[in-house]
């Protein structure tokens, strides 16, 4: 177990970043909680590198999904412009072009607005975290965020559907270990096939199984 843990978690270069992306898409945690977990789990250098990888991956994923939604609009947030206060380069007040101060002010803002786009991702990470409770359903929460976060909703729909482990799928499709154990090495290939098929039939059928009839059918199949 220690070898497996070290293989996937000790080296930050081997960590599956999507695990943290899925945690970021939980509105109860978001980025600050993920960064706190990483800082508590690794030394400062490794935690910094891993946080940068997480942010870079998140940004790349968002850009990819945003390219699939060309009709989505991005809001803009104003940033400070030293020339928007009415002072020119020499510090003198520019002359008003008219007597309508409100109109001149709006024109001034439009001409000098150098704001940067604020994306859905910025708004999502900037919003307050959802209060945690036992009845919280993350899939239900994202299902009603189509209008507010259409791009992130698409990301969450795909990422949160990924199984957290491959154990379940391997256990479902791999029956060799359960059939060909050390006590059943004398089974013929045909009987092994019959056992596997019978197992599938039993799992799929809702009708009662009659053991005697099944044993007779297996004996006839083996003799044939």
Domain boundary among 159, 191, 215: 159
* Same domain for 202 and 140: no
* Same domain for 40 and 95: no
Beta-bridged to residue 21, according to DSSP, are: none
What contacts 159, CB < 8 A, 6 or more positions away?
18, 21, 22, 25, 61
pLDDT for the residue numbered 207: 66
**Which one, of 115, 118, 145, lies nearest residue 27 by Cα?**
145
The answer to whether the CB of 25 falls within 8 A of the CB of 152 is yes
* Same domain for 138 and 87: no
The answer to whether the CB of 99 falls within 8 A of the CB of 56 is no
The Cα-based distances of 66 to 44, 52, 73, 84 in angstroms read 33, 21, 10, 32
* Same domain for 104 and 173: no
pLDDT for the residue numbered 90: 45
The answer to whether the CB of 182 falls within 8 A of the CB of 38 is no
* Same domain for 121 and 29: yes
* Same domain for 181 and 146: no
* Same domain for 110 and 89: yes
* Same domain for 154 and 120: yes
Output DSSP code: residue 87.
B
pLDDT for the residue numbered 72: 56
3-class SS string, 170-192 = HHHHCCHHHHCCCCCCCCCHHHH
* Same domain for 99 and 53: no
Beta-bridged to residue 75, according to DSSP, are: 118
The answer to whether the CB of 121 falls within 8 A of the CB of 62 is yes
pLDDT for the residue numbered 184: 58
**Which one, of 183, 163, 158, lies nearest residue 173 by Cα?**
163
Class of residue 95 by CB neighbours under 10 A (exposed 0-12, middle 13-18, buried 19+): exposed
* Same domain for 131 and 102: no
- How many domains, in total, are found in the chain? 3
What does the pLDDT profile of the chain (224 residues) look like in tens digits?
888 777 777 888 888 888 889 889 889 888 888 889 888 888 888 889 999 999 999 999 999 998 888 765 454 333 334 334 444 444 444 554 555 665 665 566 555 554 455 788 888 888 888 888 888 888 889 988 888 888 999 898 888 888 776 665 556 566 555 555 665 566 777 887 888 888 777 777 666 666 677 778 778 877 86
pLDDT for the residue numbered 15: 84
pLDDT for the residue numbered 220: 82
User: Phi and psi (nearest 5°) for 134?
Assistant: -65, -25
* Same domain for 49 and 29: yes
CB atoms < 10 A from the CB of 29, how many? 17
Gyration radius of the chain's alpha carbons:
30
Range of the domain at 141: 2-78+116-159
Total residues belonging to the chain: 224
* Same domain for 187 and 140: no
């Amino acid at each position: 177990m220690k070898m497996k843990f070290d293989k996937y978690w000790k080296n930050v270069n081997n960590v599956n970043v999507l695990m943290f992306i899925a945690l970021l898409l939980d509105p109860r945690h978001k980025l600050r909680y993920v960064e706190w977990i990483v800082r508590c789990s690794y030394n400062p250098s490794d935690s910094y590198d891993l946080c940068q990888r997480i942010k870079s991956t998140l940004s790349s994923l968002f850009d990819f999904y945003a390219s699939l939604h060309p009709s989505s609009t991005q809001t803009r947030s104003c940033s400070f412009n030293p020339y928007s206060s009415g002072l020119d380069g020499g510090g003198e007040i520019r002359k008003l072009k008219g007597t309508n101060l409100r109109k001149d002010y709006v024109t001034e803002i439009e001409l000098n607005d150098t704001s940067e786009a604020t994306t859905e991702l910025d708004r999502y990470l900037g919003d307050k975290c959802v209060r945690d409770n036992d009845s919280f359903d993350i899939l239900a929460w994202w299902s009603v965020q189509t209008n507010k976060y259409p791009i992130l909703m698409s990301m969450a729909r795909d990422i949160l559907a990924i199984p957290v482990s491959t154990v379940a799928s391997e256990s479902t499709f791999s029956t060799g270990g359960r059939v060909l154990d050390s006590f059943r090495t004398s089974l013929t290939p045909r009987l092994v096939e019959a056992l596997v098929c019978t197992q599938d039939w039993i799992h799929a059928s809702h009708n009662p199984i009659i053991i005697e009839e099944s044993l007779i059918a297996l004996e006839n199949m083996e003799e044939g």
